[in-house]
């Protein structure tokens, strides 16, 4: 019985740190470009319950053409895609999107604090 409880406890602690969504609040994430497979700056991420808004920071606005500090880069619903990755969708149906990232809803990685877009 002790072994079973230990196994359950370890499983729950593992799951809670893997891909866990963040609480409502304001965070600084890395802004990452899927095309170049690299992070090119930072962005401000504002989470309110199940929705998120991504804003350009001053540093990011200096790197991306036609972008000013405070511009909304992305907004939508925080959804767990069928692949297991977190995405920013426009509707609940995006959970089953055929493509994510470059050809579909952008990816948000809460563990690494990265926002991936094309």
Q: What is the pLDDT of residues 38-78, one digit of tens each?
A: 999 999 999 999 999 999 999 999 999 899 999 999 999 99
pLDDT tens-digit readout, 12-36: 333 333 468 999 999 999 999 999 9
- Give, in order, the Cα–Cα distances in Å from 89 to each of 52, 66, 76: 10, 24, 5
Q: What is the pTM of this model?
A: 0.81
What is the four-CA torsion angle of 88, 43, 49, 35, rounded to 10 degrees? 10
Give residue limits of the domains in the chain. Answer: 21-117
The reported pLDDT for the residue numbered 32 is 97
The 3-class secondary structure across the chain, one letter per residue, is CHHHHHHHHHHHHHHHHCCCCCCCEEEEEEEEECCCCEEEEEEEEEEECCEEEEEECHHHHCCCCCCCCCCEEEEEEEEECCCCCEEEECCHHHHHCCCCCCCCCCEEECCCCEEEEC
8 Å CB contact between 88 and 77 = yes
pLDDT above 60: residue 6? no
How do beta strands 72-80 and 107-109 pair? unpaired
């Amino acid at each position: 019985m002790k072994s079973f409880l230990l196994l359950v406890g370890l499983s729950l602690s593992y799951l809670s740190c893997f891909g866990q969504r963040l609480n409502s609040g304001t965070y600084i994430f890395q802004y990452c470009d899927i095309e170049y497979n690299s992070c090119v700056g930072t962005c401000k991420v504002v989470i309110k319950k199940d929705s998120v808004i991504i804003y350009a920071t001053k540093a990011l606005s200096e790197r991306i053409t036609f972008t000013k500090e405070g511009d909304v880069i992305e907004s939508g619903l925080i959804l767990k895609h069928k692949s297991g990755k977190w995405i920013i969708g426009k509707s609940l149906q995006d959970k089953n999107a055929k493509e994510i990232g470059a050809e579909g809803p952008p990816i948000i990685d809460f563990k690494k604090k990265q926002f991936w877009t094309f």
